[in-house]
């Protein structure tokens, strides 16, 4: 299992829309996330910054690769183009934060 923390930016003025869409997250997307091996997935927002945390099985590349290849994720990503300013770097990879410390 690999823990991952990544960052996203909401388009200014779209904060409430970002929240509204997550209040009504599609059950089939949640199922795809879980089936991909992503657990304990949380999003935290401060202003337009979103911090995401997830535990990935067996690792982040495999789990996010699985969900990233799903049809439902493609639809969700398309739906969020007018809400998210940035969630990947120039190479298309998640903008990650390095883990410094952890306690169970």
pLDDT tens across 15-64, in order?
A: 999 999 999 999 999 999 999 999 999 999 999 999 999 999 999 999 99
Helix axes 60-68, 27-35, angle to 10 degrees: 140
Task: Supply the pLDDT for residue 5.
Answer: 97
- For the domain bounded by 2-97, which CATH number is listed? 3.30.70.100
Task: Supply the pLDDT for residue 90.
Answer: 82
pTM for this model (two decimals): 0.90
Contact 95, 8 (CB under 8 A): yes
**For residues 32 and 77, what is the distance between their CA atoms, to the nearest angstrom?**
14
Does the N-terminal peptide bond of residue 58 adopt cis geometry, omega within 30 degrees of 0?
yes
pLDDT tens digit string along 72-97?
Answer: 999 999 999 999 997 778 887 888 99
* Beta carbons within 10 angstroms of residue 39's beta carbon: 13
Task: Supply the pLDDT for residue 31.
Answer: 98
Nearest to 8 by CA among 47, 38, 35: 47
């Amino acid at each position: 299992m690999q823990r991952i923390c990544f960052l996203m930016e909401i388009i200014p003025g779209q904060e409430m829309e970002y929240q509204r869409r997550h209040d009504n997250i599609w059950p089939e997307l949640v199922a795809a996330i879980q089936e991909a091996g992503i657990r304990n997935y949380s999003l935290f927002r401060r202003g337009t910054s979103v911090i995401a945390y997830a535990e990935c099985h067996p690792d982040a590349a495999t789990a996010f690769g699985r969900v990233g290849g799903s049809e439902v994720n493609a639809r969700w990503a398309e739906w969020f183009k007018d809400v998210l300013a940035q969630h990947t770097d120039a190479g298309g990879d998640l903008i990650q934060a390095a883990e410094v410390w952890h306690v169970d």
